[in-house]
Each structure stands twice: as C-alpha cells, then as structure tokens.
Amino acid sequence: MSRNLTRFGRGETLTIIVDGTPVIAHRGETIAGALLATGRRAWRYTHHGQPRGLFCGIGVCFDCLVTVDGVPNVRACLTLVAEGMVIHTQNETSDERTS
C-alpha cells in the first residue's frame, strides 16, 4: 500500500497584515511559516544591517523576532497567526526598533 506523504491539508485561510500589506495565511501556521510561504526569508535586521529570519525554528536563537500587535520581540517561529494580526518587521538600526 503506497501513501502520498506530500499531500497535506492547510487550515482555513485568514488575513494578517505584514508591514501594512494584507497577507493570506492559514490557521495553525506560525508567523514564520506564513512569512516563508510568501517567499520572505528575512524580517529582522541587526544593528549592522545583517538580515535575519528563521534559523533554529524552535525559539532558542531569537533571530525571527517581529513586532505583533504593538508588542516587540515576539518569536515568529513560536507564535501562531490569528485573523487581523498586525505584524511589523524589526530593524535594530531604527530608534523605534520597528520599520
């Protein structure tokens, strides 16, 4: 008996706002998963301007930090998306630590 392991269902669609742009995500996905699905690989920049995104994927390294609904330094790899969630990428070179 052969099973196709590449087929899987995604949760219902919802809309999140990323840096002012509506993005379709799926219930049950992390913010990092939703961003990766749109082709984004970096969503934070160090004070030296180096891009950062998903690295460890388990909440240990802090490379995937974003601002969510006004709360800075949220780990995108651990936080599930929710309808209407407002996400801002972070730029450590700015005074507000968000872009």
Query: What are the structural domains, with CATH classification, of the chain?
Result: 13-91 (3.10.20.440)
Does the structure show a pLDDT above 90 at 39?
yes
CA 37 vs CA 3, 32, 75: distances in Å: 25, 8, 17
Q: Could you say which DSSP state residue 33 is in?
A: H
Does the structure show a pLDDT above 60 at 99?
no
Distance CA 48, CA 86 (A): 26
| Residue 11, pLDDT score | 86
Q: What is the pTM of this model?
A: 0.82
Distance CA 86, CA 99 (A): 13
Does the structure show a pLDDT above 60 at 95?
no
